Copies of this chain bind each other. A is one copy, B any other.
Amino acid sequence: MKKIGILGTGIVGKTIANRLLQLGYEVKMGSRTSNNEKALNWLSTAGPNAQIGTFEEVSIQSDIIFNCTKGEAAEEAIRLTGIENLKSKILIDLSNPLDFSKGMPPTLIPQYANSWSMGEAIQQLCPDTFVIKTLNMVNCEVMVNASLPGENGSMFICGNDSESKKTVSKLLQEFGWNDIIDLGDISASRGMEMLLPIWLRLWKATGTGHLAFKIVR
Protein backbone atom coordinates (compact mmCIF):
# COMPACT_ATOMS: atom_id res chain seq x y z
CA MET A 1 0.00 0.00 0.00
CA LYS A 2 1.39 3.37 -0.99
CA LYS A 3 2.14 5.95 1.70
CA ILE A 4 0.68 9.31 0.87
CA GLY A 5 1.86 12.66 2.17
CA ILE A 6 -0.13 15.85 2.48
CA LEU A 7 1.52 19.26 2.49
CA GLY A 8 -0.80 21.66 4.31
CA THR A 9 -3.17 21.46 7.27
CA GLY A 10 -6.04 23.56 5.93
CA ILE A 11 -9.46 22.39 4.84
CA VAL A 12 -8.16 21.03 1.50
CA GLY A 13 -5.40 19.03 3.17
CA LYS A 14 -7.73 17.61 5.80
CA THR A 15 -10.42 16.68 3.28
CA ILE A 16 -7.94 14.86 1.03
CA ALA A 17 -6.29 13.18 4.02
CA ASN A 18 -9.57 11.92 5.47
CA ARG A 19 -10.72 10.52 2.16
CA LEU A 20 -7.42 8.72 1.64
CA LEU A 21 -7.66 7.19 5.12
CA GLN A 22 -11.17 6.07 4.29
CA LEU A 23 -9.78 4.40 1.16
CA GLY A 24 -7.24 2.54 3.28
CA TYR A 25 -4.06 4.50 2.65
CA GLU A 26 -1.44 5.47 5.21
CA VAL A 27 -1.47 9.26 5.35
CA LYS A 28 1.10 11.66 6.81
CA MET A 29 0.13 15.30 7.12
CA GLY A 30 2.94 17.85 7.03
CA SER A 31 3.41 21.43 8.13
CA ARG A 32 6.30 23.76 8.98
CA THR A 33 6.66 22.42 12.51
CA SER A 34 6.17 18.97 13.99
CA ASN A 35 3.71 20.24 16.59
CA ASN A 36 1.35 22.22 14.37
CA GLU A 37 -1.92 22.64 16.26
CA LYS A 38 -4.21 21.96 13.29
CA ALA A 39 -2.25 18.81 12.43
CA LEU A 40 -2.43 17.61 16.04
CA ASN A 41 -6.18 18.20 16.10
CA TRP A 42 -6.60 16.22 12.93
CA LEU A 43 -4.38 13.42 14.23
CA SER A 44 -6.40 13.09 17.43
CA THR A 45 -9.39 11.63 15.57
CA ALA A 46 -7.80 10.30 12.39
CA GLY A 47 -7.13 6.72 13.43
CA PRO A 48 -4.16 4.36 13.28
CA ASN A 49 -3.13 4.99 9.66
CA ALA A 50 -2.56 8.71 10.23
CA GLN A 51 0.67 10.45 11.13
CA ILE A 52 1.94 14.01 11.20
CA GLY A 53 5.37 15.56 10.71
CA THR A 54 7.33 18.39 9.14
CA PHE A 55 7.22 19.03 5.41
CA GLU A 56 10.61 17.35 5.23
CA GLU A 57 9.56 14.22 7.14
CA VAL A 58 6.47 13.89 4.97
CA SER A 59 8.45 14.10 1.75
CA ILE A 60 11.00 11.51 2.96
CA GLN A 61 8.39 8.99 4.11
CA SER A 62 5.80 9.24 1.33
CA ASP A 63 5.60 7.77 -2.16
CA ILE A 64 3.03 10.25 -3.41
CA ILE A 65 2.62 13.77 -2.06
CA PHE A 66 -0.35 16.11 -2.41
CA ASN A 67 0.48 19.82 -2.33
CA CYS A 68 -2.52 21.30 -0.52
CA THR A 69 -0.89 24.57 0.51
CA LYS A 70 -2.19 27.93 -0.64
CA GLY A 71 -0.71 29.20 -3.89
CA GLU A 72 1.10 32.08 -2.22
CA ALA A 73 2.84 29.64 0.16
CA ALA A 74 3.37 26.68 -2.16
CA GLU A 75 6.90 27.32 -3.39
CA GLU A 76 8.18 27.98 0.13
CA ALA A 77 6.51 24.81 1.46
CA ILE A 78 8.07 22.74 -1.29
CA ARG A 79 11.51 24.23 -0.60
CA LEU A 80 11.06 23.18 3.02
CA THR A 81 10.50 19.54 2.00
CA GLY A 82 14.11 19.49 0.84
CA ILE A 83 13.89 19.27 -2.94
CA GLU A 84 16.13 16.19 -2.99
CA ASN A 85 13.60 14.27 -0.88
CA LEU A 86 11.01 14.62 -3.64
CA LYS A 87 13.24 13.08 -6.30
CA SER A 88 11.45 10.52 -8.53
CA LYS A 89 8.26 10.91 -6.49
CA ILE A 90 4.85 12.06 -7.62
CA LEU A 91 3.83 15.49 -6.40
CA ILE A 92 0.15 16.24 -7.04
CA ASP A 93 -0.35 19.98 -7.10
CA LEU A 94 -3.83 21.25 -6.17
CA SER A 95 -2.83 24.82 -5.45
CA ASN A 96 -4.13 27.98 -7.05
CA PRO A 97 -2.13 31.20 -7.23
CA LEU A 98 -4.93 33.45 -5.99
CA ASP A 99 -4.19 37.10 -5.24
CA PHE A 100 -6.53 38.48 -2.57
CA SER A 101 -4.43 41.64 -2.09
CA LYS A 102 -6.74 43.77 -4.26
CA GLY A 103 -9.94 42.57 -2.59
CA MET A 104 -12.69 40.26 -3.80
CA PRO A 105 -13.02 38.59 -6.16
CA PRO A 106 -9.35 37.62 -6.31
CA THR A 107 -7.28 37.68 -9.49
CA LEU A 108 -4.40 35.32 -10.17
CA ILE A 109 -0.99 36.35 -8.79
CA PRO A 110 0.39 38.10 -11.90
CA GLN A 111 3.71 36.26 -12.10
CA TYR A 112 1.89 32.91 -12.24
CA ALA A 113 -0.81 33.94 -14.71
CA ASN A 114 -1.32 33.57 -18.46
CA SER A 115 2.22 32.77 -19.69
CA TRP A 116 3.32 30.91 -16.55
CA SER A 117 1.60 28.94 -13.79
CA MET A 118 2.04 27.51 -10.30
CA GLY A 119 2.25 24.01 -11.72
CA GLU A 120 5.15 24.98 -13.97
CA ALA A 121 6.86 26.94 -11.18
CA ILE A 122 6.76 23.87 -8.94
CA GLN A 123 8.05 21.61 -11.71
CA GLN A 124 10.92 24.06 -12.24
CA LEU A 125 11.64 24.06 -8.50
CA CYS A 126 11.89 20.23 -8.37
CA PRO A 127 12.90 19.12 -11.88
CA ASP A 128 13.43 15.47 -10.86
CA THR A 129 9.93 15.13 -9.42
CA PHE A 130 6.85 14.04 -11.38
CA VAL A 131 4.62 17.06 -10.86
CA ILE A 132 0.98 16.44 -11.76
CA LYS A 133 -1.63 19.19 -11.75
CA THR A 134 -5.23 18.17 -11.13
CA LEU A 135 -8.31 18.79 -8.93
CA ASN A 136 -7.51 22.50 -8.46
CA MET A 137 -10.71 23.63 -10.20
CA VAL A 138 -13.23 22.09 -7.81
CA ASN A 139 -14.13 22.61 -4.16
CA CYS A 140 -12.34 20.14 -1.87
CA GLU A 141 -15.52 18.22 -1.05
CA VAL A 142 -16.04 17.64 -4.76
CA MET A 143 -12.37 16.74 -5.23
CA VAL A 144 -12.82 13.58 -3.17
CA ASN A 145 -16.42 12.84 -4.14
CA ALA A 146 -16.98 13.49 -7.82
CA SER A 147 -20.66 12.60 -7.70
CA LEU A 148 -21.47 15.32 -5.15
CA PRO A 149 -22.79 17.78 -7.78
CA GLY A 150 -25.50 15.22 -8.67
CA GLU A 151 -23.88 14.53 -12.01
CA ASN A 152 -20.17 13.82 -12.43
CA GLY A 153 -18.08 16.50 -14.08
CA SER A 154 -14.89 15.96 -16.05
CA MET A 155 -11.51 16.06 -14.33
CA PHE A 156 -8.46 17.56 -15.98
CA ILE A 157 -4.92 16.34 -15.43
CA CYS A 158 -1.55 17.41 -16.80
CA GLY A 159 2.10 16.65 -16.25
CA ASN A 160 5.24 15.67 -18.12
CA ASP A 161 5.28 11.95 -17.21
CA SER A 162 2.69 9.57 -18.64
CA GLU A 163 3.19 6.79 -16.08
CA SER A 164 2.67 9.22 -13.21
CA LYS A 165 -0.50 10.50 -14.82
CA LYS A 166 -1.78 6.91 -14.95
CA THR A 167 -1.00 6.42 -11.25
CA VAL A 168 -2.73 9.65 -10.31
CA SER A 169 -5.69 8.83 -12.54
CA LYS A 170 -6.25 5.66 -10.53
CA LEU A 171 -6.42 7.75 -7.37
CA LEU A 172 -8.83 10.13 -9.10
CA GLN A 173 -11.02 7.16 -10.01
CA GLU A 174 -11.07 6.18 -6.33
CA PHE A 175 -12.42 9.69 -5.70
CA GLY A 176 -15.19 8.95 -8.20
CA TRP A 177 -13.87 10.72 -11.30
CA ASN A 178 -14.78 8.71 -14.39
CA ASP A 179 -14.11 11.25 -17.14
CA ILE A 180 -10.43 12.18 -16.76
CA ILE A 181 -9.03 14.31 -19.58
CA ASP A 182 -5.25 14.40 -20.05
CA LEU A 183 -4.39 17.92 -21.22
CA GLY A 184 -0.74 17.17 -21.90
CA ASP A 185 2.43 18.48 -20.30
CA ILE A 186 2.66 20.59 -17.16
CA SER A 187 2.22 23.84 -19.09
CA ALA A 188 -1.49 22.98 -19.30
CA SER A 189 -1.53 24.12 -15.66
CA ARG A 190 -2.01 27.61 -17.08
CA GLY A 191 -5.45 26.88 -18.42
CA MET A 192 -6.40 24.82 -15.36
CA GLU A 193 -5.46 27.60 -12.95
CA MET A 194 -7.15 30.18 -15.20
CA LEU A 195 -10.45 28.41 -14.44
CA LEU A 196 -10.48 29.90 -10.97
CA PRO A 197 -11.91 33.32 -11.84
CA ILE A 198 -14.94 31.79 -13.58
CA TRP A 199 -15.27 29.16 -10.85
CA LEU A 200 -15.62 31.95 -8.27
CA ARG A 201 -18.27 33.66 -10.41
CA LEU A 202 -20.12 30.37 -10.90
CA TRP A 203 -20.12 29.75 -7.16
CA LYS A 204 -21.74 33.14 -6.63
CA ALA A 205 -24.18 32.75 -9.54
CA THR A 206 -25.36 29.25 -8.70
CA GLY A 207 -25.19 29.55 -4.92
CA THR A 208 -23.30 26.30 -4.52
CA GLY A 209 -19.67 25.26 -4.41
CA HIS A 210 -20.70 21.71 -5.26
CA LEU A 211 -20.23 22.26 -8.97
CA ALA A 212 -17.87 20.96 -11.62
CA PHE A 213 -16.99 21.48 -15.27
CA LYS A 214 -18.26 18.68 -17.47
CA ILE A 215 -16.88 18.73 -21.00
CA VAL A 216 -19.67 17.67 -23.34
CA ARG A 217 -18.40 16.47 -26.73
Contact = CB atoms under 8 A, between A and B. Distances in A.
Contacts of A210: 217
Nearest to A190: B197
A183 B203 CA distance: 9
Contact of A206 (B110, B194, B208, B217): B217
Contacts of A217: 149-150, 206, 208, 210-212
Nearest to A211: B217
Interface string A156-174: 1010000000000000000
A191 B183 contact: no
Nearest to A151: B216
Contacts of A1: none
A191 B110 CA distance: 15
Interface in A193-217: 194-202, 204-206, 208, 210-217
A107 B190 CA distance: 9
Interface residues of A, number: 43
Name the residue among A150, A184, A210, A214 with the largest chain B CB count within 10 angstroms: A214
B216 A214 contact: yes
Interface string A182-194: 1110001011101
A102 to B, nearest CB: 7
A153 interface: yes
A152 to B, nearest CB: 7
A121 interface: no
Interface string A91-133: 0000000000010000110100111000000000000000000
Contacts of A114: 107-108, 110, 113-114, 197
Contacts of A198: 156, 183, 188, 191-192, 194-195
